[in-house]
Structure 1
Amino acid sequence: MSGARKTEDLVEHLRAALPPERRPELEAVEGLEVLLRRHLTAARTRWPTPSLSDERFVRYLAARLPAGKVSEVMRVLRAEDLYLACACASGEPTALEDFERHILRHLPARLARLSPSMRQEVLQVVRERLLVANGDTPPRIASYGGRGPLLSWVGIVAARISGELMDRDTHLQLVAESPEELARHLSPRDPECALLREDARRLLAESLRRAVSVLSEQERTLLSLHHLHGFTLDRLTRMYGGSRSGIARRVAATRKQLLERVRLELAPRLKHDVLALESLLGLLGSRLELSLKGLLD
């Protein structure tokens, strides 16, 4: 009897954590109560020492269920990995130890082309970025959604950090980037994107490349300096002249123009899958928004 009560409580926790308009989605998931309990049991079997209550984990899961895809995600959920990520995001000491022993220890083999000192630096930056909160911003591991292996997700983060560190040690030539190069740097860098189906990633990359190719050289240079080289609005204003607000409007207008062209590229190819279209556009838009965050205030 108590076991049945616990299973029912999990569904209630999940329902309570979702906005009212999304709660009907749960009714479409057959055997949701049993499925939730199975996920939680498997997670606790794999990671017995972190102490997370039922409610805490289920609410954490609810925040990472994309609208309209609850049933799909629940079937493929990497619950064990999400449980560890939840505990790490909460700063659980035993979870951080498990993360070090079972996740980070595999990274050096994936970074074999780097020097030993560079590998150690990458590992340290991974620890800082993923496990350390920044003010009111939670540790970045909280952005892991459980839809792919945690080790693969962390490996993607490590590979991008290694690229950043190598770029740091290389003299950057501040010239207009080719459309292909700029498109590569503007592509979404959220590891969840790298876990999308290959055809979706390829479609997004192709559409972005074509959209960038029709920008003027001046527009591409502006995006390159801002997104790739990290120029602030103040520095761009000194380069281009005029006012800071004027530069901010130019950056925002170029960004809007680029996203609209990507939409025009994608729309004919995804006309029968509006959800996929909006998902890819949202992924790209959130990446560009992050780059502009704090600069257009």
Structure 2
Amino acid sequence: MSKIGLGLILLVLSVTSASAQNTDSLKVDTNLLNKYRIEPRKNALPIRIRPVQITEQLIPIELLDYKVSYWHKTLVFGLNFNQSAFTSNWSAGGISSVALGSTFDFKAEYNKTPFSYTSETNFIYGIAANKGQGARKTNDRIFLDNKVASQLSKRWFLFGSLSFESQFSQGFTYTDANGNEINQGLLISNFMSPGYLTESLGFEFKPNKFYDIRFGTGTAKQTFVLDTTIYHNQPDNYGVKPGHTFYNQLAVQIVAAVDKDIMKNLHLNARYALFVPYQQPLAYTTHRLDATLTAKVNRLINVTMNGTFLYDKNTSPRPQATEGLAMGVNYTFP
């Protein structure tokens, strides 16, 4: 090949290479490519769209069988047991003894505005047996109280009440008129000797569920002494004249009660009754305070302290008091 032919070939290859480089460097508009892109063929089968139909359906609803109860009931039962024993040669001295105390307190309340009804039953009985002395009663009380009230305003009620009080068994004193101890007990009380039935009508002030005060403007109290064998042992015979078993009094009565947790695990229940008779001097006004303080150790074990103060000249010319401290089982339902 001649030099001229070889030069032509090289010139052609050079122009071709330059043209290829210029083509690669050109900018391409991708939007145009997307515009003219060939789309795949769509599904040719027809699609039928049905509209959603919503219809109202009634569902039967049964009312729940709930009943409103206007009653509130509580039951408190307590049992205390104490025991001590000594050998015959115990140098410090002492006497073996066994003591048992029990309490029963049931309260039911019915409250449907404006009417309310409250019933309370309280039984207390205790007995102790000391070696060489036999069994002696330490506590004895029967108390029933029923009250019906109608609401006059937010805190005032018109009420009527009926209460009964007595004891279960015979009561003896072991001291003579001079205060000297005697071995043979002297009978001074019994069931319905005395026994008290009190009817009262008046107004009640109740600021909250813990406190209430009754003002019994019209009150009548009947005192019963059915055991006539205690006449010569009880000088005043509880206000009943010897030869009679019944004595009626008209009076004004005020009753204040509190039932409240005064602090955590410490509960106070107290009831004060003031009785002012119309037919006797003011000196024969009767005061009675019953209080129980309960400290809860756990759900079953409680420490209980109870006391009673009484001033009643028909029973004794001097104030009377009793006190007890015990630890035992005390259960509340529910």
> 1 or 2, which has the higher strand percentage?
2
> 1 or 2, which has the higher helix percentage?
1
Q: Could you say which TM-score interval applies, normalised by the shorter chain?
A: under 0.3
What is the TM-score of this pair, normalised by structure 2? 0.19
What is the TM-score of this pair, normalised by structure 1? 0.21
Greater radius of gyration (CA)? 2
Greater length-normalized contact order (CA 8 Å, ≥ 6 residues apart): 1
